[in-house]
Chain A
């Protein structure tokens, strides 16, 4: 199993540009989530999904969109990037009935 994979590893954007961060898992986990990690802030939940076709907001959802068309994939979209979205983004997944989450390697995003 590859576990949770994320692409790209690193991205530079200009303010106002859009992009999609990709996340995929091959563990057949129903639950998937996106976190952002900022210095001194820990990990904060952006959006999550409990299954295909179902998404919900986390702690810091503004400026981000998600969709879940398949069990395996959970892309995160930035429609108009802002410097405040400079961060490291982690995708995670888990079985629906268990609490343990498995994280991907992260995407480092710089918005100029």
Chain B
């Protein structure tokens, strides 16, 4: 089955700096890669996603890049703010047939943005 590795497990940056979180996946059939943000005591919320036919996607201060050949994808947050502090999860999805998309999650990165 799919295996998703996420690094680093913790990341501390100064406000205004950039943050990068990296994930690798094992199943070449995976074709959808979402990123979720989880604030303390809340459920994961989708912040950005990318499909395998796209190399990069941006949404304001957040961007995701995908390298299909190397099987890795990354989340980039620019001009970080204290409210960006949260746990971030990457995931990879493949279709097992019949729209049975199965999400496999990384173990998460705790991002702390220091004022």
Q: Contact: A50 with B100, CB < 8 Å?
A: yes
Please name all residues of chain B whose beta carbon is closer than 8 Å to the beta carbon of A31 when the two chains form the complex. 99
Nearest residue, chain B, Cβ from A4:
B43
- State how many residues of chain A have any CB contact under 8 Å with chain B: 21
A34 at the interface (CB under 8 A from B): no
Q: Contact: B45 with A103, CB < 8 Å?
A: yes
Binding site of B, secondary structure by majority: helix, strand, loop or mixed? strand
Chain A proximity of B92: nearest CB distance (Å): 10
A12 at the interface (CB under 8 A from B): no
Contact status of A40 and B43, CB under 8 A, knowing A96-B99, A100-B49:
no
Contact status of A102 and B46, CB under 8 A, knowing A41-B107, A42-B107:
yes
Contact status of A103 and B44, CB under 8 A, knowing A42-B105, A43-B105, A96-B99:
yes
Partner of A103, one of B6, B43, B100: B43
- State how many residues of chain B have any CB contact under 8 Å with chain A: 24
Contact status of A99 and B42, CB under 8 A, knowing A42-B107, A42-B108:
no
In Å, the complex CA distance between A40 and B43 comes to 16
Contact status of A43 and B34, CB under 8 A, knowing A97-B99, A99-B93, A100-B49:
no
Nearest residue, chain B, Cβ from A96:
B99
Partner of A90, one of B6, B34, B44: B44
B57 at the interface (CB under 8 A from A): no
B contact set with A: CB distance below 8 Å: 6, 9, 32, 34, 36, 41-46, 49, 89, 93, 98-103, 105-108
A contact set with B: CB distance below 8 Å: 4, 31, 40-45, 50, 90, 94, 96-97, 99-106
